[in-house]
Amino acid sequence: MTSVPGRLGRGLPVVLLYAALAALALLVGAAAVRQPVPALVVAVAVLAIGLSALRPMVIPLLVLPTLLVVARLDLGGVDLSVSDAALAAAVLPAALLGVRPYSPSMRNLMWLTVVYQASTLFTVIANAYAANLVEWVHAWFLTGGALVVGWGVGRAGWARTAMALVATVASLIGLAVVVQFVINVGQGSFEAVYVQWPYPMHKNFTGTTLGIVAAVAFAAPPWLIPRRAIATALFWWCTLAVLLSQSGQAIIALAVAVGVIVVRSGQARRRSKLILLAAVPAVWVVISLARSELASGNVHNSTSQRLTWFAESWDLWLSSPITGIGLRWWYTDRAPERFQPPNAELEVLTSAGLLGLAGFIVLMVGTLVILWRVEPLYGTVAFVAVLSRFVQGQFDLFWVAVQISLAFAVVGICLGAKASADAESAPRGSLVGEDAPAA
């Protein structure tokens, strides 16, 4: 029979904990009257700590769907997207509480992000302004931070739940696109869709984001989406929204991703062939529209403007070929004219010079090579997520929130889920998965 002192020894810490929480609750309640915002922040932080004690990866899991939210926050004059704020909140618990060790593939990807950060550090030193340093840190959060968050969720065995949450938000964004298209048609307009409600969304944001989700849904194996019917419905819904958005880069990237999935998986089913054949006319429409814009003589349309920006970006790079003129320079007065580079390589070249471009190529090519070598059951989804973003970046800016963090979070989920499956199937105490020695 347990002694009274023994029972008190175990119960006293619990009593003290409840007393501390009660006191904190009273303090938060008192502060809420005069300073509601700080009180709310403290209350949310306490709740997060409590949830993390019960389920270490609950914060990264709940944060994942908000990576798709591009709405802006005004935090005392600091302009920040919901996606960036959520990612920043999720990285620390994922890094501290996530299961270790990382698999070899995960470690190699993390090193690739370090290589890119090292290559762009030169432009931070050569071009000393605050936004340059902020964007340098931001770039790592979009890649390495998203990898860590995705790994933590996937390794904890919550890959399906995470995908369900992401799919829900993506479906709602798709609904916003469809509703806006119907409103536009009612007003006699069949132009590209720019969503206005619940908050403004550019056609290239909705198109590229939903294009990545569509590619993931098309490639999704049962461990990620248990029912094929659900995956198929998600794919067609997101694809419809991509087409309605009329984002050319998203349409081309989705066509490329579908082709890679069909070829790599060896699918010979009628459905896969039909989808692949349907992608050809979609790409042809995009190319035809670009040709007609060039032939129109209008220098202000999308295609002609991009050609102008190509030449201007080249001239700007020549002004500082080794280190570039700084990250996100188009938001500053560092260039004679403010314009955005029309593709990923020119963006990096003008921002970080030849050194940064070398690091960018190492990051992207190295990532794709590593993911291609991962078991297709897990690697294909991760590969097409990054490939989609890379192809999209050939026609517009690359280093933007949501699209990059979403792609790399998917990669982390896939690698974490593979490590989790390997750990469950391996004998106790043995090396598993990629850490196991070759036979």
* Structure confidence by residue, pLDDT tens digits, 363-405: 999 999 999 999 999 999 999 999 999 999 998 889 988 899 9
Evaluate whether residue 76 is within a structural domain: no
Evaluate whether residue 367 is within a structural domain: yes
Give the separation between CA 272 and CA 228, rounded to whole angstroms. Answer: 13
Give the separation between CA 164 and CA 142, rounded to whole angstroms. Answer: 21
Task: Please check whether residue 388 is in contact with residue 407, taking contact to mean a CB–CB distance below 8 angstroms.
Answer: yes
Count of structural domains, the chain:
1
Evaluate whether residue 64 is within a structural domain: no
Q: What is the pLDDT along the chain (439 residues), one digit of tens a residue?
A: 444 444 444 455 556 555 655 665 555 555 555 555 555 555 555 555 555 555 678 889 988 998 998 887 766 556 678 888 889 888 988 998 888 899 999 999 999 999 999 999 999 999 988 889 999 999 999 999 999 999 999 999 999 999 999 999 999 999 999 999 999 999 998 888 999 988 899 999 999 999 999 999 999 999 999 999 999 999 999 999 999 999 989 999 998 898 888 888 765 555 555 565 555 555 665 566 556 655 555 555 566 567 777 888 888 999 999 999 999 898 888 877 778 888 899 999 999 999 999 999 999 999 999 999 999 999 999 999 999 999 999 988 899 888 999 999 999 999 999 999 998 876 665 555 454 433 3
Cis check for the bond before 101: say yes or no (omega within 30 of 0): yes
Evaluate whether residue 92 is within a structural domain: no
Give the separation between CA 140 and CA 113, rounded to whole angstroms. Answer: 7
DSSP one-letter code for 339: -
Backbone dihedral angles phi then psi of residue 75, each to the nearest 5 degrees: -100, 80
Q: Which residues pair with 73 in a beta bridge?
A: 80
Rounded to a whole number, what is the distance in angstroms from the first to the last CA of the chain? 54
Domain that holds residue 412: 98-432
Evaluate whether residue 168 is within a structural domain: yes
Evaluate whether residue 190 is within a structural domain: yes
332 closest CA partner among 346, 316, 345: 316
Give the separation between CA 159 and CA 417, rounded to whole angstroms. Answer: 6
Task: Please check whether residue 314 is in contact with residue 357, taking contact to mean a CB–CB distance below 8 angstroms.
Answer: no
Which DSSP string do the residues of 35-76 spell out, in sequence order? -HHHHHHHHHHHHHHHHHHHSTTHHHHHHGGGGG---EEEET
Burial call 338-374: b when 16+ CB within 10 Å, e when fewer: eebbbbbbbbbbbbbbbbbbebbeebbebbeebbeeb
pTM: 0.84
Evaluate whether residue 83 is within a structural domain: no
Evaluate whether residue 18 is within a structural domain: no
Backbone dihedral angles phi then psi of residue 189, each to the nearest 5 degrees: -115, 130
